[in-house]
Amino acid sequence: NAGVMQNPRHLVRRRGQEARLRCSPMKGHSHVYWYRQLPEEGLKFMVYLQKENIIDESGMPKERFSAEFPKEGPSILRIQQVVRGDSAAYFCASSPSAWGTNYGYTFGSGTRLTVV
Amino acid sequence: KNEVEQSPQNLTAQEGEFITINCSYSVGISALHWLQQHPGGGIVSLFMLSSGKKKHGRLIATINIQEKHSSLHITASHPRDSAVYICAVGVYGNKLVFGAGTILRVKS
């Protein structure tokens, strides 16, 4: 029973390139959340998705960032034209229900993005 | 003022000591989580609480809903307990709001 799988674990991109971060939720989990941890800062909510729907994207930067969770396959967090300030650890979590913060909230190991 | 405040920010203890990390929050919550993160590592969920007290091995977590306060205790601390401990609260909209974390170092 694999946990939340994120890949890659480490990603290096040059300024201006695109970064794609993948998250496969736990089996049976249909709710996915992305969080960002900037260097020396706490974790911050980015986006909450359910299959094929964005439920809450209030934490997403207005430009260059997008997220999806298709009917088949992993959730993808996409960052276009990366800048140095995007360097951070990006964590995905999943839950089996809309009451996820009360039950079954599970984190992945994170993707560490470095922009050079 | 942050919605979730943790104290202390940094904590150094000798092996064997009893450790307490505190968390206060100012928003309505559905549940409170205690998480552990090792440097460069993933996030491990230690406890999820909505009332009372939970114990797992040497770790104990308590919550007082009326006072909006939670504590994480580590008994008989060990160097392998060295990590960042993060308090997070579940808020309306099914997302977590995090404290800044407490960096714990246990010396042998």
B86 touches chain A (CB under 8 A): yes
Position A102 scores a pLDDT of: 66
Closest CA to B104 of B19, B6, B25, B42: B19
Q: How far apart are CA A86 and CA B51, in angstroms?
A: 38
Given phi > 0 = left and psi -120 to 50 = alpha, else beta, which region is B101?
Answer: left
pLDDT band at B12 (very low <50, low <70, confident <90, very high): very high
> What's the pLDDT tens digit per position in A6-47?
999 999 999 999 999 999 999 989 999 999 999 888 899 999
Tokens of A49: 């998705």
pLDDT band at A104 (very low <50, low <70, confident <90, very high): confident
Structure letter (DSSP) for residue A101: G
Q: How far is B43 from chain A (nearest CA, A)?
A: 6
Q: How far is B37 from chain A (nearest CA, A)?
A: 10
pLDDT at A1 over 60: no
Position B24 scores a pLDDT of: 97
Mutation to test the A interface, candidates B32, B35, B36, B96, most A Cβ within 10 Å: B96
pLDDT at A99 over 70: no
The verdict on a CB contact (< 8 Å) between A105 and B48 is: yes
Position B27 scores a pLDDT of: 85
Across A58-67, average pLDDT: 96
Question: How far are the Cα atoms of A71, B2, B29, B105 from residue B42, in angstroms, in the given order?
Answer: 26, 24, 24, 18
Q: How far is A103 from chain B (nearest CA, A)?
A: 8
